[in-house]
A and B are shown apart, each in its own frame.
Chain A
Amino acid sequence: MNQKRTNPIIVIVLTLFSLACLIPFWLVFMISVADENWVTAHGYSFWPGKFSLVAYQYLIEDAEKILRAYGVSALVTVIGVVVSLFVTSAMAYALSRKEFPLRGALSFYILITMLFSGGLLPWYLVYTRFLHVQDTLVALIIPGLIGGFNVIIMRTFFTNSIPPSLIDSSQIDGAGEFRTYFSIILPLSLPVMATIGLFTTVSYWNDWFTSLVFIQNEKLFSLQYLLTKTLMNASFLQTIANKAYSSTAQVTTPLESIRMAMAMIAIGPLVLVFPFLQKYFVRGLTVGAVKG
Chain B
Amino acid sequence: MKWLKKSSAVLASLMLTSVVAAGCGGNKASNTPAGSAQPDGAASSALKPYEVMMVFPDAPQKDNQLVQDAMNDYLKKTYPELNMTVKLNPIDWGAWSDKTNLMLASGDKMDLLFTADWLGFQQQVTKGGLLPLDNLLARYGPDIEAVEKDYHEPAKRGGKLYGIHTHQELGGAQGVYLNKELVDKYNFDLTALKSGKVEDLEPMLKTIKENESGITPLVAPSFPLEAYYSSTNLDSITSIAAINTAGTAPDNYTVINSFTTPRYMELAKLTNKWYKAGYINKDALTPGLDAWKKMQAGKGFAFVSDMDILADMEIGKADISPNGSIKAGREMLQIPLNIDRLQTGKMTATMYAISKSSEDPERAMMLLNLFYKDKELLTLFNFGIEGKHYVLKDGQIALPEGQTTDSVGYYHDIMWQLGNQMLNYTRVGEDPNKYQNYEKFNEKISSNRSRIFGFVFDPEPVKNELISIDNANKTFVDGLKSGQLDPEEVVPKMLEKQKAAGADKVIAEAQKQLDAWLKENGKK
Contact = CB atoms under 8 A, between A and B. Distances in A.
Interface of A: 37, 40-41, 43, 105, 109, 120-122, 124-126, 128-130, 212-213, 218, 228-229, 231-238, 242-253, 256
Contact of B283 (A43, A129, A247): A43
B93 A246 contact: no
Contact of B60 (A218, A243, A248, A253): A218
A145 B397 CA distance: 51
Interface string B250-274: 0000000000000000000000000
Given A235-B288, A243-B118, A247-B309, A126 B94 contact: no
B244 interface: no
A41 B283 CA distance: 12
B14 A37 contact: no
Contacts of A245: 116, 118, 349-350, 416
Contacts of B416: 245-246, 248-249
B293 interface: yes
B293 A40 contact: yes
Contacts of B4: 109
Contacts of B94: 228-229, 231-233, 235-236
Interface string B97-121: 0110010011010000000101000
Interface in B294-351: 294, 296-297, 299, 305-309, 323, 327, 349-350
A213 B297 contact: no
A247 B308 contact: yes
B99 A212 contact: yes
Interface of B: 1, 4, 7, 10-11, 14-15, 18, 59-60, 92-96, 98-99, 102, 105-106, 108, 116, 118, 168-169, 172, 221-222, 283, 287-288, 290, 292-294, 296-297, 299, 305-309, 323, 327, 349-350, 405, 413, 415-416, 421
A5 B90 CA distance: 65
A234 to B, nearest CB: 8
Contacts of B323: 247
Given A246-B350, A248-B413, A248-B415, A229 B106 contact: no
* Best-buried of B15, B102, B168, B309 by chain A (most CB within 10 Å): B102
Contact of B299 (A41, A233, A248): A41
A125 B60 contact: no
Contacts of B99: 212-213
Contacts of B7: 126, 130
Contacts of B292: 251
Given A246-B349, A247-B172, A238 B288 contact: yes
A65 to B, nearest CB: 10
18 contacts: A122-B15, A124-B102, A124-B106, A128-B106, A129-B14, A213-B98, A213-B99, A232-B95, A234-B288, A236-B93, A237-B93, A242-B221, A245-B116, A247-B307, A247-B323, A248-B413, A250-B413, A251-B290
Contacts of A235: 94, 287-288
Contacts of A236: 93-94, 96
B305 A244 contact: yes
Contact of A130 (B14, B222, B309): B14
A108 B372 CA distance: 59
B290 A232 contact: no
B287 A229 contact: no
Q: Nearest 4 A-B pairs (CB), nearest first?
A: A232-B94, A246-B416, A244-B306, A236-B93
A125 B413 contact: no
B64 to A, nearest CB: 10
B118 A40 contact: no
B11 A130 contact: yes
A247 B413 contact: no
Given A122-B11, A247-B169, A37 B297 contact: yes
A243 B283 CA distance: 19
B378 to A, nearest CB: 14
A129 B14 CA distance: 8
B116 to A, nearest CB: 7
B59 A247 contact: no
A128 to B, nearest CB: 7
Contacts of A242: 221-222
A213 to B, nearest CB: 7
Nearest to A217: B60
A109 B5 CA distance: 13
Contacts of B293: 40, 253
Contact of A232 (B11, B92, B106, B296): B92
Contacts of B102: 120-121, 124, 213
Residue of A125, A218, A249 ringed by the most chain B CB atoms within 10 A: A125
Contacts of B105: 121
A125 B18 CA distance: 10
B406 to A, nearest CB: 8
Contacts of A43: 283
Contacts of A253: 288, 290, 293
A82 B42 CA distance: 62
Contacts of A120: 102
A164 to B, nearest CB: 26
A42 to B, nearest CB: 9
A62 B106 CA distance: 35
Nearest to A232: B94
A229 B413 contact: no
